[in-house]
Structure 1
């Protein structure tokens, strides 16, 4: 696990430097905005794959958009899912962005998820690591290295209401749920980057993130293996919960590579209110 962790820190430093700090090679390439996004995504994916190929304990990996598991070492025990860059559309507005990693042992299902990590780039360059033995730890980048900081834990109730999906596609039930939190003084904090929105809830010690089923995404928008499982794992290790209308996210079984899900995660009080709304 240490070798996998070190590989992800190498990934973080490379992408932060070459995409978010010294980004001239992308900005001065005379590419269209779409071509630049594709170029950035390709670069980040290549960095991730290059670093994991150096780790003997990694059996293989799969990216959210690759949809194909690549075996690199038959004797390795870790299978890794990743999101190379979380929502490239936000590059245009100089937002922080992130990468997400799920570290599975032997099988890619929630039961065999041994650790999860995400990186936030740009103005907030940090790394968050979660495991059952360590809890949730974040690392800040200072003087050329990642420095371990205090553990992250959610309180029973927060004040953030992070709401994904197009408002005009929400069901009346979901709109009523969202409004009920705003009416209680919750603050809107939504970047449309899953890693950054998770980061907000963890650092503010609570709140609710919701990505419901919509007309455009009736099965949800969050990929289970690459996004929902790792983020749910991190939230649970911090003392929170992550669910859909079908139950606990980490209880999902027989998941396919392409499968998406709606998701609601955050503090226990908020998730209880979400469950109450499902049953009303």
Structure 2
């Protein structure tokens, strides 16, 4: 596991440097869910693939930018599912973006998720790692010697103040629209950049709030990917004392994975906001 986490640190540094100078144009390809691939997405995926291919304990790689599972070592036990550059379309306006990693043991199931991590490429390079259940995630920051220094453990407050509301509002259900309005009526502040990593990182570091990406009229199964984005962050949030749901079940970690590029509605936050949402959605 330490070798895998060291590799995540290495690729985060490399991608952070690449973002500063790489071509921001689109490639000629689409990923498995139909999004046009930026050249930077493809390059970030190549950096990660090259680094992880050196590690004997990694069985396979599953990426948002790969159509199929990449088998590396048949008899190894770890499968890494990752989003190489979340929010990449915002790089051209210099917003914070990031990479997300889920480390699964033997199978791509929520119960097999043994560690998760994400990096944030902003004014500073930061990395959050959660290594096992019942252990709080830790924040690391790159120092002047190009080493990641541990800053602190991360804990969610019981109730927050931030409201990051995703998806096109005209596609929201009446239930969701009414619920989000009730939070604003209660005094919550809107904080939404369009990069999942940046928005969830802000809520986690500020102590609490709600991130929501609901089902919409044009995306009834949501838009965010289960294996690459949703489950790693659910693992981190719940180990930080927060809560999650898909609007149907009590936890995102109870989702049944049926296909590699599966999507889902998702909600992450402090316990207060998630309890409020579950009540609104009759969960």
Q: Same fold (TM over 0.5)?
A: yes
Indicate conservation of the 8 Å contact 2:245/2:252, yes or no: yes
1:133, distance to aligned residue in structure 2 (A): 5.8
1:223, distance to aligned residue in structure 2 (A): 0.8
Query: TM (normalized to structure 2)?
Result: 0.92
Indicate conservation of the 8 Å contact 2:108/2:257, yes or no: no
Q: Matches of residues 1-280 of structure 1 in structure 2 within 5 Å?
A: 1-20=1-20, 23=21, 25-26=22-23, 33-35=25-27, 38-131=38-131, 132=133, 134-143=135-144, 144-247=146-249, 248-279=251-282
Indicate conservation of the 8 Å contact 2:247/2:277, yes or no: no
1:233, distance to aligned residue in structure 2 (A): 0.5
Q: Deviations over 1:7-40 (max 9, x none)?
A: 00010010111223xx0x526xxxxx33496221
Q: Deviations over 1:68-119 (max 9, x none)?
A: 1111112221100000110221012101100000000011100000000000
Unaligned runs of 5+ in 2: 29-36
Unaligned runs of 5+ in 1: 28-32
Q: Which moved more, 1:251-260 or 1:77-86?
A: 251-260
Indicate conservation of the 8 Å contact 1:224/1:255, yes or no: no
Indicate conservation of the 8 Å contact 1:96/1:124, yes or no: no
SS across alignment from 2:90: helix
Question: How many pairs are equivalent?
Answer: 272
1:122, distance to aligned residue in structure 2 (A): 2.8
1:197, distance to aligned residue in structure 2 (A): 1.0
Query: TM (normalized to structure 1)?
Result: 0.93
Aligned-CA RMSD value? 1.5
Indicate conservation of the 8 Å contact 1:11/1:51, yes or no: yes
Q: Deviations over 1:258-278 (max 9, x none)?
A: 211001110000000001101
Indicate conservation of the 8 Å contact 2:82/2:100, yes or no: yes
